[in-house]
Structure 1
Amino acid sequence: MADIRPLELNDLASLHQLQLQCFDPPWSEEMLRARLVHPRSLSLGIFTGGQLHGFVLLSHLLDEAEVLEIGVAPQYQRAGLARQLLQHALQQLAKLGIERLMLEVRASNLPALGLYRALGFVEDGRRTGYYPTATGHEDAVLMSLRPGS
């Protein structure tokens, strides 16, 4: 059974190691530390047997929030952990009075786009050529959701 809870500073080493598996380039350990202690941050981890398998880092201000990063260990991808993290985050954001959750995702990340659409996110627009790739650039798809709706 997976356990979702807020990430704490004592989770920093595990978060950093998992983040290295999920992103290129990864955030530095200092950037992650700053996010964990930021007063307008919601950082959640999903654990099994005490081991971190996924995380979501969000920032919120007034009545809006943004998904900064979401990652799941490669061996646990496509097992519903990202969905569980986002659903839990949406509940927490609604309690904070957040009226809109935004994110951006690579246009080529079809599994993530499918998940976001299944959760009710809608496409708001695109940032053309936003993400660098080995062969050039690709678009960022901008999406949002109203947590209470």
Structure 2
Amino acid sequence: MSTFSRFFSSPEPDIRDAVTADAPELARLHATAFHRGWSASEFERLLAERTGVGHVMRAGPRGKLLGFVLSHAVPPESEILSIVTEAASRGQGLARRLLTHHLGRLAAQGVTASFLEVEAGNDPAIALYRRAGYAEAGRRKGYYEGPSGRTDALVMRRDF
């Protein structure tokens, strides 16, 4: 397919608020990216909470789920709980767009500081967060458990 036809056949990604009805799709996508994926009921609970703030990115308004981000927000602080893009869409700047949108919405709610944890060896995610203005604020030794053993978590912070 030529670049010209691909340009016109690919709908612009659509970002909207996540709702509890998205939970089964979020759980499926989360399971592709993490050793221990969250269940649909865990996503439903998080999205139903007063402090839950989530956004989904789709290929067009009703299209395929390309990614999501979910935070707990209690202004003036928030914590990003998870951000995932589908494997086939990585490297296209979608996570950056999704994160930028999400941070803008958090700021509009009065958030002035955002925290997150990321596995120390997850270089693409760390680079994304650094480009978004996050800096390392701490380290949790042996925080994550995976198939190859325990790894550290970097705690990162971004002030708005």
The two structures have a TM-score, normalised by structure 1, of 0.93
Alignment partner of 2:84: what SS?
strand
The residue type paired with residue 91 of structure 2 is R
**Could you list the runs of 5+ residues in structure 2 that have no partner in the other structure?**
1-11
1:92 aligned to which of 98, 105, 108:
105
Kindly state the Cα deviation for residue 27 of structure 1 after the two structures are TM-superposed: 0.6
Distance across 2 between alignment mates of 1:75 and 1:67 = 23
SS of residue in 2 equivalent to 1:11: helix
Match of 1:54 among 67, 73, 82: 67
Identity %: 37
Q: Which residue of 2 aligns with 1:11?
A: 22
Match 2:80 to one of 42, 67, 78: 67
Alignment of 1:1-149 (within 5 A): 1-49=12-60, 50-147=63-160
Which amino acid counterpart does residue 3 of structure 1 have in structure 2? D
**How far is 1:12 from its partner?**
2.2
Stretch deviating more after TM superposition (87-96 or 6-15): 6-15
Shift of residue 110, structure 1, vs aligned partner:
0.3
- What is the RMSD of the two structures over their aligned residues, measured on CA atoms? 1.2
- Which runs of 5 or more structure 1 residues have no equivalent in the other structure? none
Deviations 1:55-91 (A, max 9, x none): 0010011310000011111111111111111100111
Q: Is the CA contact (8 Å cut-off) linking 2:144 and 2:151 kept in structure 1?
A: yes
Q: AA paired with 2:34?
A: F
In the TM superposition, residue 31 of structure 1 has moved relative to its aligned partner by 0.5
Distance in 2, Cα, partners of 1:13 & 1:137: 28
